[in-house]
């Protein structure tokens, strides 16, 4: 519980409009895009790193848990305040502080919306590459915490490949800077350590991101199939031909019909699967690769091969892909999104296994993949009003992720571990590796006040660590 004295201090620090505490307001912050819920006791809205330092010092003095929050679009419970306490919303730290096109850099606050960076520089023919499906809403601070990806990460990489430096507030109240606008700085890669740490070791207050020049030519392709397994074979065939598109997305028949009914993007209603492929680069090279991919698709039984004829047609296809999760709401009252990764050669058998899981648990499962890098997003449809359906949905999700591990994959490609996949960490990593992760956590947050109850499995996580005093011995 937050003691009255701490509440008074927060009100004096941030003013009457700088925090929320009424139950009806707090309800809006008890969930993200996943299925878990937990309500904070207060939500605070800092406007500067100095505010964040003061909040951290207050929380440490009163031993109050803190959970950082961006836009709440996460899908693994990362922003859920599992033990109550204070949620630190960065919605008001939303300024683009500096744009340096000469050096292809931008300095932004954590509450800046992902797409707003591209909108700010596209007139000068630049863009910010990581593009999660929620890029119109998700924020850079959340992207950094979860190491977010997106459809175009096949060629460009995920968030960590585009973050050059961070300003961070540690739990002792100190402010540190990692990396910076220059590349190849000496010392440990602390920027890489904190990117993807899911808000468990520090709070991000500034981010230096890489900007990229827009390509000369872009071609977007829709390949249509009568068998989903042929899509998986096509991805492997494209790779075998040494072609690296910037995006290779797959939608199965269940998903593409939901998307088409909602967006009218031009997906065929009778297909069993489609691949959405995008190429970028010099005009001549892109034209040549289109023909190579046409051959690859047809060798894997594609029944139709379309190339978008205009930018408007291209944008419509991507609108369908990026609004896929919203389209599910027209069909099912609730859905549970998973985020496993498998080698590209295992996509086809993984699709078969997901079909078996669907039958075993009696739930419909649609599939949408970042197929180029084997990042799966099976979407399990269920009714949250039925506790048994929620239980079966979670069991089905675990079964799929365990299969991903068994074929050499991972339990997450971009959504993070959060509280959703904690127990599966023990399947992914050895006990020694988990102890090392715990050591990093305790080095930066020895009292386990920062986003407790995340990432580490039961027995290794903060909810257990906090049961006993933290000593130097337990940190080794």
β-pairing verdict for 86-89 and 42-44: parallel
| Lowest-pLDDT choice from 92-96, 195-199, 236-240 | 236-240
- Cross-strand pairs, 113: 139
Per-residue confidence (pLDDT) for residue 475, from 0 to 100: 32
200 has a pLDDT exceeding 60: yes
Most confident option among 184-193, 253-262, 299-308: 299-308
Contacts of 242 (CB under 8 A, 6+ apart): none
173 has a pLDDT exceeding 90: yes
427 has a pLDDT exceeding 50: yes
Strand, helix or coil at 369?
strand
177 has a pLDDT exceeding 90: yes
pLDDT-based confidence at residue 182 (cuts at 50, 70, 90): confident
Distance linking the first and last C-alpha atoms of the chain: 30
- 79 within 8 A of 148, measured Cβ to Cβ: no
Cα 196–Cα 197–Cα 200 angle in degrees, nearest 5: 150
Per-residue confidence (pLDDT) for residue 325, from 0 to 100: 85
Identify the sign of the CA torsion 433, 455, 87, 468.
negative
Q: How far apart are CA 50 and CA 24, in angstroms?
A: 29
pLDDT in tens, 396-426: 999 999 999 999 999 999 999 999 999 999 9
pLDDT in tens, 334-354: 999 999 999 988 998 999 999
Question: What are the φ/ψ torsions at residue 191 (nearest 5 degrees)?
Answer: -60, -45
CB atoms within 10 A of CB 4: 8
Indicate the average pLDDT of the chain. Answer: 94
Torsion of CA 443, 149, 128, 232, to 10 degrees: 150
Write b or e for each residue in 401-440: b if 16 or more Cβ atoms lie within 10 A of its Cβ, otherwise e: bebbbebebbbbbbbbbbbbbbebbeebbeeeebeebbee
pLDDT-based confidence at residue 470 (cuts at 50, 70, 90): very low
The whole-number average pLDDT for the span 457-462 is: 84
237 has a pLDDT exceeding 70: yes
- As given in the structure block, the two tokens for residue 171 are 């739990």
Q: How far apart are CA 200 and CA 66, in angstroms?
A: 9
The whole-number average pLDDT for the span 349-367 is: 95
From residue 413, give the alpha-carbon distance in Å to each of 70, 341, 438, 469: 19, 6, 21, 34
- 396 within 8 A of 57, measured Cβ to Cβ: no
- 393 within 8 A of 380, measured Cβ to Cβ: yes
Portion of the chain with pLDDT greater than 90, in percent: 88
Cα 117–Cα 93–Cα 165 angle in degrees, nearest 5: 60
450-453 LR contacts (CB < 8 Å, sep 24+)? 450/65, 450/66, 450/67, 450/171, 450/199, 450/200, 450/201, 450/202, 450/203, 451/65, 451/66, 451/67, 451/68, 451/78, 451/198, 451/199, 451/200, 452/65, 452/82, 452/83, 453/82, 453/83, 453/419, 453/422
| Residue from 329, 335, 344, 349 nearest 378 by CA | 335
The whole-number average pLDDT for the span 5-30 is: 97
pLDDT-based confidence at residue 465 (cuts at 50, 70, 90): low
Per-residue confidence (pLDDT) for residue 461, from 0 to 100: 81
Q: How far apart are CA 444 and CA 125, in angstroms?
A: 40
The whole-number average pLDDT for the span 73-77 is: 95
pLDDT in tens, 213-229: 999 999 999 999 999 98
Question: What are the φ/ψ torsions at residue 240 (nearest 5 degrees)?
Answer: -65, -25
The whole-number average pLDDT for the span 432-457 is: 96
pLDDT-based confidence at residue 466 (cuts at 50, 70, 90): low
Give all domains of the chain, ordered by start, each with its CATH number.
4-89 (3.30.43.10), 96-213 (3.30.465.10), 217-326 (3.30.70.2190), 332-422 (3.30.70.2740)
pLDDT in tens, 246-255: 999 999 999 9
DSSP class of 475: T
Per-residue confidence (pLDDT) for residue 338, from 0 to 100: 93
Per-residue confidence (pLDDT) for residue 460, from 0 to 100: 81
Per-residue confidence (pLDDT) for residue 58, from 0 to 100: 98
The sheet that has 66-69: what strands, in order across it?
19-20, 42-44, 86-89, 66-69
The sheet that has 96-100: what strands, in order across it?
96-100, 105-108, 203-210, 163-169, 175-179
408 in the Ramachandran plot: left (φ > 0), alpha (ψ -120 to 50) or beta?
left
From residue 125, give the alpha-carbon distance in Å to each of 287, 288, 456: 21, 24, 42
57 has a pLDDT exceeding 80: yes
Q: How far apart are CA 199 and CA 203, in angstroms?
A: 6
């Amino acid at each position: 519980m937050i003691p009255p004295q701490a509440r008074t201090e927060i009100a004096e620090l941030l003013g009457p409009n700088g925090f929320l505490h009424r139950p009806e307001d707090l309800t809006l912050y008890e969930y993200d895009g996943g299925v878990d819920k937990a309500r904070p006791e207060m939500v605070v809205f800092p406007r500067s790193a100095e505010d964040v330092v003061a909040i951290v010092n207050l929380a440490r003095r009163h031993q109050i848990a803190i959970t950082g929050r961006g836009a709440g679009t996460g899908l693994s419970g990362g922003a859920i305040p599992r033990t109550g306490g204070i949620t630190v919303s960065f919605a008001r730290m939303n300024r683009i502080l500096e744009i340096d096109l000469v050096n292809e850099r931008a300095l932004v606050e954590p509450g800046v919306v992902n797409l707003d960076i591209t909108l700010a520089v596209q007139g000068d023919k630049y863009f910010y590459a990581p593009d999660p499906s929620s890029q119109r809403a998700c924020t850079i601070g959340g992207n950094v915490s979860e190491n977010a990806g997106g459809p175009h990460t096949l060629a460009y990489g995920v968030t960590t490949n585009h973050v050059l430096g961070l300003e961070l507030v540690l739990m002792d109240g100190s402010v540190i800077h990692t990396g910076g606008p220059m590349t190849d700085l000496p010392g440990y890669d602390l920027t890489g350590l904190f990117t993807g740490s899911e808000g468990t070791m520090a709070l991000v207050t500034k981010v230096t991101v890489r900007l990229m020049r827009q390509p000369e030519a872009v071609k977007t392709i829709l390949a249509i199939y009568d068998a989903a397994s042929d899509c998986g074979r096509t991805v492997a065939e494209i790779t075998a031909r040494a072609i690296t598109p910037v995006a290779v997305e797959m939608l199965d028949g269940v998903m593409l019909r939901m998307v088409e009914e909602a967006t009218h993007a031009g997906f065929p209603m009778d297909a069993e699967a489609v691949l959405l492929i995008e190429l970028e680069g010099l005009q001549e090279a892109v034209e040549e690769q289109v023909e190579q991919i046409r051959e690859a698709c047809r060798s894997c039984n594609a029944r139709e091969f379309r190339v978008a004829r205009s930018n408007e047609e291209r944008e419509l296809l991507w609108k369908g892909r990026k609004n896929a999760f919203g389209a599910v709401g027209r069909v099912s009252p609730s859905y549970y999104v998973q985020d496993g990764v498998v080698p590209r050669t295992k996509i086809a058998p993984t699709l078969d296994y997901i079909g078996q899981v669907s039958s075993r648990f009696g739930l419909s499962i649609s599939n949408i993949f970042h197929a180029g890098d084997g990042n799966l997003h099976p979407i399990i449809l269920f009714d949250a009003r039925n506790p048994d359906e929620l239980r079966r949905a979670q069991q089905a999700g675990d079964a799929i992720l365990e299969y991903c591990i068994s074929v050499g994959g991972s339990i997450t490609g971009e959504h993070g571990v959060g509280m959703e996949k904690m127990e599966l960490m023990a399947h992914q990593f050895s006990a020694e590796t988990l102890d090392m992760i715990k050591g990093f956590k305790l080095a930066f947050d020895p009292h386990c006040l920062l986003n407790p109850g995340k990432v580490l499995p039961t027995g290794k996580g903060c909810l257990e660590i906090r049961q006993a005093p933290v000593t130097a011995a337990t940190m080794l």
